[in-house]
Structure 1
Amino acid sequence: MNWLDRVIGAVAPAAGLRRVRQRQALRLMQRAYEGAKAGRRTDGWVTAGTGANAEVGPASSRLRERARDLVRNNPYATKAVNALVSNLVGTGIVPRARSRKLAAAKQADQLWVQFAAACDADGLTDFGGLQALIVRSLVESGEVIVRFRDRRVEDGLPVPFQLQVLEPDHLDSGKTEDLADGGYIVQGIEFDAFGRRRAYWLFPVHPGESRGRSVSSRPVPARQVLHLFERLRPGQVRGVPWFAPVILKLRDLDDYDDAELMRKKIEACFAAFVTGAQDEETLGKPSTGIAGDRIESFEPGMIEYLEPGKDVKFAAPSANGDYADYMRMQLHAVAAGVGLTYELLTGDLSQVNYSSIRAGLIEFRRRMEALQWQLIVPGLCQPVWARFIELAQAAGKLPEGEITSEWTAPRFEAVDPLKDIQADILAVRAGVMTLKEAIARQGYDPAQVLAEIAATNAELDAAGITLDTDPRRSTKTGQEKSATSDPSQDPNTL
């Protein structure tokens, strides 16, 4: 409190109290958010309060082009894409039909197998292969378009439609306008007056193809298009390449690595340096071999006599002891930026043990599962299944009625399978996990596995065969159970 506050407090206590309170509130506001302060530390920090689409729109094309260039030419970018694809979809996320009518579910499963083998509009792969292609484009370009292509019944397909995967370049990003009916178009995506997606304005041919660029885009109804991208902000309508946070870092790191390689190559070119006085007698009289050629190279067992006053100093290349540590730290940042662990990005396992790599993989797999069940399954798998059931029933290949699906992603390989299996066994015994949950964690359909176990047990019983892996007949140590023993009292019972 300064002298003025003391005077005001003595003359008008209420006014003085208000001044003190306001000054204290001002101090609290000033130190509430240090990051919002303006000063020398933040002079070069330029920010903007733009919306998601205003930020993504102008940058999306260049971000895609640079990300693709990195994937083509940078080994770490290539490894990142491959690692994300193999962990997100692997061999493919597969469905199991569910219906109150078991016969209808079984029929749907059989028809799906046929559809999945013939669903590619390009005729090059199956549904699992399309998933890998879709995720690859999702990572590299930030988004991907999947178009439903209806076919004629006479085309002979299991279900009369196929899937066509398109790069986001097919979307007319330059088309943004308001429509007369209250709708609007944002970067090639048309919305109705309620903000629902109504159509996608697509170029028939990729704008970058050499066979000619289409001058105009055409609207395709939204129900015939799947648009997959990871939404990072509310209201965002287009995707951002997953390499966006590390594009410059990867490029600079690649330049640094090339410069270090060039330095090593230059140093390796200088094997030795000849020193000594250059007087008139020795100037222009270099050492020569038998054929009269100047000696400028070395070979095993060679002995060369130098002129008086000459000396040879061999090159000693400098060692850059910081190179490995610097590369490692930068690659840690790159791995964090693309959502991988350092070990998955580089393949370097020299500094990990079981506990550390397991801890890293747990967090990474949580991220992969979130993308599987929040993006790929609801954005791709379920809409394709719904279309499959709709057209199959319309074509008379499936009975009417609700037929839903349960999707199973490929299981993640255990770091130590024995420890993980033992943990699952203990969890099932303790009642904190069901047997079906344990089977599902392995990436299998519990109903199918239990049915196969029951069928196998029936076949073994009919043949009079007893296996030491059968918990009905053997203890967990492989010993045969007594016919009169109570399994619930046997501590060795599985």
Structure 2
Amino acid sequence: MGWFTRTTPEERMVREVTRAASDLVQSQPRAQGGGGGSETRWHGASRALRSMSSWLPFLGSPNRDLSTPERKTLVARSRDAMRNHPIARAAIVRTRTNVVGTGLICRPQVDHEVLGLTEEQADILNAQIQREWEMYAGDPRECDAEATLNHYQLQALALVSAMTGGDCFVTTPWIDRPGTIYSTRLQLIETDRVSNPNGQPDSQFMVEGIEFDEYGAPVAIHICTGYPDDKFLKYPLRWERVEVFGAQTGRRRVLQVWCDKERPGLKRGAPYLAPILEPLQKLERYASAELMSAVISAMFTVFIKKTDSFNDGGQGQPLFGDEDPAPGVGGGGSGAVELGEGAIVDLAQGEEPMVANPARPNAQFDPFFSAIVKEIGAALELPLEELMLHYSSSYSAARAAMLQAWRFYTMRRWWLVCDFCQPSYELMFDEAVARGRISAPGYSDPALRKAYTKSIWIGPARGAIDELKEAKAARERIDVGISNETIETAAMTGETWQQVNRQRARELVQRRANGTTVEVAPAKPAVATKPEPEEIEEED
């Protein structure tokens, strides 16, 4: 029997397509112009151009293009980069700090028009709902199945887990605990634990532990009791099937917090760092090599050469590495020779040092490093200034970088609210109504339920480089009519205007009662003046 090579269907397809393209090129005359011609109208579709001939990607389904082995590798490398690579960690923690920070605050906003309530009645109901939510969200024993983190800390953990793992799952078990008000808990499940039972291959209606119907809607997920890839498990693994929606009520039992869903029909997500892992690894190796070179060059060592009146004829001191490592033993040498800060090395007779200049630090390191970080930041939607926390350009350039980054943070915040915050708030609301803690007539009607559970989520404010300029700009937007006080208050302080206004009114009443009211003179008309030199913005 002769030796043979077994080829996959994809390899056979590539060979057939390449052979067909070659036959097409030989049978047709080359097109004129276009840098040498092409057999296709679009140069990007050419298989004959030298620059494109080796680029042969496959067309596959969303789940095939993000297969289980590749996704596991991406997740493992993303977590390792998060632990050990400064740029990767900076991208993750910067997003966590700006998207969540100290937590996204829920402000109930019931739709009083649909519910037939007056604005005063709606305010009273909103205050009652917010009290119930704060009792639930602020206590780890109330909201966390592990009784470790409150809801605001869970938000940060869910975001980081989804960004490093591609997605994160949240189950809602019913756990009774002494001394608690509610029994609905939130349990975060890492992406590794959701998989096909016993390592079964994907099927028509199950992909990587997610079971779905004919329309692609999730029906159930299969959660492993441990980590299937853990090599040191000492107990047998089993999988639990958890329905995504309750069979009787349709209540959410499983939440999937996505990092990104880039294609329709995709069931599992890719990590946030997946597109930049290769340049990130190369950049880390380059930076480590430059750092080590700088350290070695800083260890300048002085060599002392001894002279002798006659040739030792091979009877001199032993070579480096051959001497007794213990100094002073038997009158031997002085130990192993190595570099050190300000070290003086005594050379053997007849030996002469060779001086090499490593030319460190490298003057081209910072420009090249910054150029690669810019490319990485572009893929991550984070400008260089925001990623490195280095605002060295003008005010306008720094503010533009901050605004561009906040577009990304706002989008991430909205995804987190849709996938985690609002669903968990509605679960608490369901139990509060069932226990009679909140009166909600007609709550069983899905339309009225949405009216009752409407809310806004406010996160930490984006801050300002120059608060005076930002405040003046906000006042101008309000005066012109393109904004309002609610929007500007939320953007600058992270609070609602209603809450700020009520607190301000209470403060003024208290001041008048104490006799400490400060009279504010009416504002004078603005007079055009020549701007000061520091107010003139220079563009880079």
Q: Same fold (TM over 0.5)?
A: yes
- Provide the residue aligned with 2:63 in structure 1: 53
Contact 1:121 1:162 in 2 (8 A): yes
- Provide the residue aligned with 1:191 in structure 2: 212
Contact 2:82 2:89 in 1 (8 A): yes
Distance 1:166 1:212, change over 3 A: farther
Local SS of the residue matching 1:407 = strand
Distance 1:175 1:397, change over 3 A: farther
Contact 1:207 1:214 in 2 (8 A): no
Deviation at 1:464, TM superposition (A): 4.0
1:238 and 1:301 map into 2 onto residues whose CA distance is 57
Aligned partner (choices 397, 400, 404) of residue 363 of structure 1 = 404
Q: What is the letter of the counterpart of residue 270 of structure 2?
A: V
- Provide the residue aligned with 1:381 in structure 2: 421
- Provide the residue aligned with 1:481 in structure 2: none
Q: List runs of 5+ in structure 1 lacking aligned partners.
A: 1-22, 478-489
Aligned partner (choices 142, 146, 166) of residue 142 of structure 1 = 166
- Provide the residue aligned with 1:484 in structure 2: none
Contact 1:273 1:315 in 2 (8 A): no
Aligned partner (choices 227, 233, 254) of residue 225 of structure 1 = 254
User: Is 2:390 aligned against 1:348?
Assistant: yes
1:36 and 1:278 map into 2 onto residues whose CA distance is 75
Deviation at 1:459, TM superposition (A): 2.9
2:343 and 2:257 map into 1 onto residues whose CA distance is 67
Distance 1:115 1:306, change over 3 A: closer
Contact 1:274 1:310 in 2 (8 A): no
- Provide the residue aligned with 2:44 in structure 1: 35
Contact 1:143 1:238 in 2 (8 A): yes
Local SS of the residue matching 1:41 = coil
Deviation at 1:268, TM superposition (A): 5.0
Q: What is the letter of the counterpart of residue 360 of structure 1?
A: A
Distance 1:60 1:301, change over 3 A: closer
2:253 and 2:403 map into 1 onto residues whose CA distance is 37
Aligned partner (choices 89, 93, 113) of residue 82 of structure 1 = 93
Local SS of the residue matching 1:54 = helix
Deviation at 1:140, TM superposition (A): 1.0
User: Is 2:498 aligned against 1:474?
Assistant: no
Q: What is the letter of the counterpart of residue 88 of structure 2?
A: A
Between 1:95-104 and 1:68-77, the stretch displaced more is 95-104
User: Is 2:219 aligned against 1:169?
Assistant: no
Local SS of the residue matching 2:188 = strand
1:49 and 1:133 map into 2 onto residues whose CA distance is 35
Aligned residue pairs, count: 442
Q: What is the letter of the counterpart of residue 388 of structure 2?
A: T
Deviation at 1:211, TM superposition (A): 4.5
1:163 and 1:292 map into 2 onto residues whose CA distance is 69
Pairwise mapping of residues 403-442 of structure 1 onto structure 2 (< 5 A)?
403-442=453-492
Distance 1:231 1:214, change over 3 A: farther
Contact 1:385 1:405 in 2 (8 A): no
Local SS of the residue matching 2:54 = coil
Deviation at 1:138, TM superposition (A): 1.4
Contact 1:57 1:187 in 2 (8 A): no
User: Is 2:135 aligned against 1:121?
Assistant: no
1:246 and 1:260 map into 2 onto residues whose CA distance is 21
- Runs of 4+ residues over 6 Å off in structure 1: 273-279, 291-302, 304-307, 309-313
Between 1:223-232 and 1:351-360, the stretch displaced more is 351-360
RMSD: 3.6
1:363-412 deviation line (CA, Å, top 9, x unaligned)? 11111112212x11111111111111111110111112424222112111
Q: What is the letter of the counterpart of residue 321 of structure 1?
A: A
1:133 and 1:148 map into 2 onto residues whose CA distance is 16
Name the TM-score, length of structure 1 as normaliser.
0.79
Name the TM-score, length of structure 2 as normaliser.
0.73
Contact 1:272 1:314 in 2 (8 A): no
2:437 and 2:347 map into 1 onto residues whose CA distance is 93
User: Is 2:351 aligned against 1:317?
Assistant: no
Contact 1:272 1:313 in 2 (8 A): no
1:460 and 1:299 map into 2 onto residues whose CA distance is 65
Contact 1:146 1:226 in 2 (8 A): yes
Greater CA radius of gyration, 1 or 2? 1
1:336-360 deviation line (CA, Å, top 9, x unaligned)? 23332223333334x4221112111
1:292-339 deviation line (CA, Å, top 9, x unaligned)? 97798999999x9999x9987754332333222222222222222333
1:170-199 deviation line (CA, Å, top 9, x unaligned)? 1115555557xxxx2122111123332111
Distance 1:175 1:491, change over 3 A: same
Deviation at 1:429, TM superposition (A): 2.0
Distance 1:264 1:108, change over 3 A: same
Aligned partner (choices 235, 252, 268) of residue 265 of structure 2 = 235
1:178 and 1:251 map into 2 onto residues whose CA distance is 35
Aligned partner (choices 429, 433, 455) of residue 393 of structure 1 = 433
Contact 2:305 2:348 in 1 (8 A): no
1:96-154 deviation line (CA, Å, top 9, x unaligned)? 122333332211111111100231111112111000100111111111111112123x6
Pairwise mapping of residues 441-452 of structure 1 onto structure 2 (< 5 A)?
441-442=491-492, 443-452=494-503
- Provide the residue aligned with 1:18 in structure 2: none
Aligned partner (choices 78, 95, 119) of residue 67 of structure 1 = 78
- Provide the residue aligned with 1:4 in structure 2: none
2:340 and 2:290 map into 1 onto residues whose CA distance is 26
Deviation at 1:285, TM superposition (A): 5.2
